[in-house]
């Protein structure tokens, strides 16, 4: 247990057991992850800001708390001493929050996001803030103003996005868990590309207070870990009603029951024909279908279903999300947040600051969204997109009358090479074609590894559930991981 590599291979569940038994100290565990970050970060660039001093202070405090508890018999916080990385889109008091953008280069929030604070209250230790596409606008983490994150399985490939830093950090064993956000697939797609488990909760299940907004009707805060059991444990402390978030839902949150049973005879799995399209990478299709067959052998009933409006999800998303982004990002004007580019008058100050400090993809989406909301075009574009969004939501409602979960690929391919889509925004947008519908419908989704392609790159499958159906998704993924070993594989190319 003293070997650094052994410590960083611990799952959240295993690390908690070792910490509680006294076999391992929090400081030992945190130092092991910090040493691994120091070794691998120059190659992977998974973080924007590291917080080693904070982490070691928190670890020392956790060790003292465990020592007192062993003497007094008092209980300890449920996640005491567990290292965590936080996507740099979520506020952590006293630590800069850049959102991957130069326009927030020196912004230090005075408070923590609700989800971050809940995990801090549960005892986690924060290792740092992870890299992200600027304002979460991207599918590859190439759009960060602070450099590209690389995939631990092959550093010539992207880790996915926009939560690529968090996914890469978990895959590379730089942290046992990390927070991400998912507006159109930004937890599930990186989880698939990096071979880890990632959950996008039901919209409103986890507070968005303290999350820097991109698309307010689509944004969700999710979590990465190596196993479904770890994701379930973290999620149980993240979710819950928050009066500071107007979209927060007061819904009971039972801790998912993940026992050792592997019989799925009470589960109906729907397989949508629209998700197995022409052009999908054959190894992706093969691995996902093999995983579905595996669940069927464990007793699940597999049924073909249809989500007929799936083909409209991409254009609908790229009208609604940019429209909301154009409104949300109007606050970054060089006056209220971050740095400014000085000018002789206020209008030029606004134009210079936004023109020079926003990246190309952010500008593209702001312009697209502003156009969709402009006089004379609102009803034709944004209004029409909202109507079609309702049809997509109704597709899911009808499907869940027949099945308990929906199984599908996460992305049409495995991780592509860095720069491969640099000159083709549409090709980049198509990477999210299978993840966008869940965000538009507000339903939960869970991605987890189910195989590898010929290059040794991970293949992920996603399960989508009815609103507030996270427990079922986590149960199925846990059963799958109890009977397979894909989630246990470790990238060796970065050591």
pLDDT in tens, 462-478: 999 999 999 999 999 99
Q: In angstroms, how far apart are the furthest CA atoms of the chain?
A: 71
pLDDT in tens, 169-228: 999 999 999 999 999 999 999 999 999 999 999 999 999 999 999 999 999 999 999 999
Q: 494 falls in which pLDDT band (50, 70, 90)?
A: confident
The pLDDT tens digits of the residues spanning 443-461 come to 999 999 999 999 999 999 9
Proportion of the chain in helix, strand, coil states, percent, rounded to 5: 45, 15, 45
The average confidence (pLDDT) of the chain is: 95
pLDDT value at residue 492: 79
For residue 1, pLDDT beyond 60: no
> What's the whole-number mean pLDDT along residues 348-367?
96
Give the DSSP per-residue string, 213-264. Answer: PSSTTT--EEEEESSHHHHHHHHHHH-S--TTSTT------PPP---S----
SS3 for 450?
strand
The pLDDT value given to residue 5 = 55
Query: Which residue in 172, 167, 130, 127 sits closest to 30, CA to CA?
Result: 127
Average pLDDT, integer, range 68-84: 96
CA 236 to CA 256: how far, in whole Å?
8
Burial of 246 (0-12, 13-18, 19+ CB in 10 A): exposed
Instruction: Specify the pLDDT at position 257.
Output: 65
Q: What is the pLDDT of residues 88-116, one digit of tens each?
A: 999 999 999 999 999 999 899 999 999 99
How confident is the model over 268-297, as a mean pLDDT? 96
Based on the residue annotation, tell me whether 21 is a catalytic residue of this protein: no
The arithmetic mean of pLDDT across residues 355-365, rounded, is 96
Options 101, 139, 140, 162, the catalytic residue: 162
* Sequence-distant (≥ 6) Cβ neighbours of residue 312 within 8 angstroms: 388, 391, 392
87 is annotated as an active-site residue? yes
Hey, where are the domains in the chain?
Answer: 4-264+416-488
Task: Assign domain 4-264+416-488 to its CATH superfamily.
Answer: Amidase signature (AS) domain (3.90.1300.10)
Tell me the pTM: 0.97
Q: Where is pLDDT greater, at 258 or 436?
A: 436
CA distance 254 to 125: 24
* pLDDT given for residue 66 in this prediction: 98
Q: Which of 87, 101, 112, 163 is catalytic?
A: 87
Separation CA 320–CA 392 (nearest Å)? 14
Give the pLDDT of residue 289. Answer: 98
Length reported for the chain: 495
Exposed / middle / buried, residue 454 (Cβ in 10 Å: 0-12, 13-18, 19+) = exposed
Quickly state the pLDDT bin for 254 (edges 50, 70, 90).
low
Interatomic CA distance for residues 286 and 459, integer angstroms: 10
Task: Reply yes or no on whether the pLDDT at 420 is more than 80.
Answer: yes
pLDDT value of position 256: 64
- pLDDT over threshold 80, residue 252: no
Give the residue from 158, 420, 137, 445 showing the smallest Cα distance to 275.
445
- The answer, yes or no, to whether residue 2 has pLDDT greater than 60, is no
Share of residues in the chain with pLDDT > 90 (%): 91
For residue 105, what pLDDT is reported? 93
CB atoms within 10 A of CB 400: 20
Q: Is the pLDDT of residue 63 over 50?
A: yes
Secondary structure E strands in 309-444: 405-409
Name the most confidently modeled range: 1-5, 412-416, 491-495: 412-416
Q: Which one of the listed residues 112, 186, 326, 413 is annotated catalytic?
A: 186
Q: What percent of the chain has pLDDT over 70?
A: 98
Q: Known catalytic residue: 162?
A: yes
Q: What is the pLDDT of residue 113?
A: 98
The structure tokens listed for 375 are 């006089």
Closest to 462 (Cα-Cα) out of 445, 485, 443, 441: 445
């Amino acid at each position: 247990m003293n070997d650094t590599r052994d410590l960083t291979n611990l799952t959240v569940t295993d690390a908690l057991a070792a910490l509680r038994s006294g076999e391992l100290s929090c400081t030992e565990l945190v130092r092991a992850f910090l040493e691994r970050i120091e070794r691998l970060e120059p190659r992977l660039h998974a973080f924007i800001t590291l917080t080693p001093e904070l982490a070691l202070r928190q670890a020392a405090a956790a060790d003292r708390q465990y020592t007192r508890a062993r003497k007094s018999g008092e209980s300890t916080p449920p996640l005491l001493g567990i290292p965590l990385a936080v996507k740099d889109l979520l506020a952590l008091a006293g630590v800069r929050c850049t959102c991957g953008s130069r326009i927030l280069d020196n912004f230090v929030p005075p408070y923590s996001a609700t989800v971050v604070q809940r995990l801090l209250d549960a005892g986690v230790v924060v290792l740092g803030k992870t890299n992200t596409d600027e304002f979460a606008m991207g599918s590859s983490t190439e759009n960060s103003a602070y450099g590209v994150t690389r995939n631990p399985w092959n550093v010539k490939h992207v880790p996915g996005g926009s939560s690529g830093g968090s996914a890469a950090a978990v895959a590379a064993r730089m942290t046992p868990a990390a927070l991400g956000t998912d507006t159109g697939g930004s937890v599930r797609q990186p989880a698939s590309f990096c071979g880890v488990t990632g959950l996008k909760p039901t919209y409103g299940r986890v507070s968005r207070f303290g999350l820097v907004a991109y698309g307010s009707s689509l944004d969700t805060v999710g979590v990465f870990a190596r196993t479904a059991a770890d994701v379930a444990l973290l999620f149980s402390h993240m979710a819950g009603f928050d009066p500071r978030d107007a979209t927060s839902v007061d819904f009971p949150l039972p801790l998912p029951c993940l026992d050792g049973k592997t019989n799925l005879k009470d589960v109906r799995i729907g397989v949508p024909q629209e998700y197995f399209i022409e052009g999908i990478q054959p190894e992706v299709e093969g691995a996902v279908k093999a995983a579905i067959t595996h669940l069927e052998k464990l007793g699940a009933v597999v049924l073909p279903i249809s989500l007929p409006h799936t083909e409209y999800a991409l254009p609908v998303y790229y009208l609604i999300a940019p429209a909301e982004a154009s409104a949300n990002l109007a606050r970054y004007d060089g006056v209220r947040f971050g740095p400014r580019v000085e000018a002789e008058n206020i209008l030029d100050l606004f134009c210079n600051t936004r023109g020079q400090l926003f990246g190309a993809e952010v500008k593209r989406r702001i312009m697209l969204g502003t156009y969709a909301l402009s006089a004379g075009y609102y009803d034709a574009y944004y209004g029409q997109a909202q109507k079609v969004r309702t049809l997509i939501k109704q597709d899911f409602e009808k499907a869940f009358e027949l099945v308990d979960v929906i199984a599908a690929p996460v992305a049409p391919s495995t991780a592509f090479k860095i720069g491969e889509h640099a000159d083709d925004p549409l090709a980049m947008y198509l990477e999210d074609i299978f993840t966008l519908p869940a965000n538009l419908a507000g339903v939960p989704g869970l991605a987890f590894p189910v195989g590898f392609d010929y290059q040794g790159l991970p293949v992920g499958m996603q399960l989508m559930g009815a609103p507030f159906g996270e427990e079922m998704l986590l149960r199925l993924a846990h059963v799958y991981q109890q009977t397979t070993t894909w989630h246990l594989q470790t990238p060796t190319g970065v050591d």
